[in-house]
Amino acid sequence: EVQLVESGGGLVQPGGSLRLSCAASGFTFSRSWMHWVRQAPGKGLVWVSRINTDGSTISYADSVKGRFTISRDNAKNTLYLQMNRLRAEDTAVYYCARDKCSSASCYAGGNWFDPWGQGTLVTVSS
Partner 1 sequence: SYELTQPPSVSVSPGQTARITCSGDALPKQYAYWYQQKPGQAPVLVIYKDSERPTGIPERFSGSSSGTTVTLTISGVQAEDEADFYCQSADSSGNLVIFGGGTKLTVL
| Binding stretches for partner 1 (CB under 8 A) | 35, 37, 44-47, 50, 59, 61, 95, 100, 107-119
CB of 90 to partner 1, least distance (A): 17
CB of 47 to partner 1, least distance (A): 4
The burial class, CB within 10 Å (0-12 / 13-18 / 19+), for 108 is exposed
CB of 3 to partner 1, least distance (A): 12
Output the DSSP codes for 27-76.
S-GGGS-EEEEEE-TTS-EEEEEEE-TTSS-EEE-TTTTTTEEEEEETTT
Distance from C-alpha of 123 to C-alpha of 101, rounded to nearest angstrom:
31
Of 55 and 112, which has the nearer Cβ to partner 1? Answer: 112
CB of 43 to partner 1, least distance (A): 8
Of 8 and 126, which has the nearer Cβ to partner 1? Answer: 8
The burial class, CB within 10 Å (0-12 / 13-18 / 19+), for 36 is buried
Q: Which DSSP letter does residue 85 get?
A: S
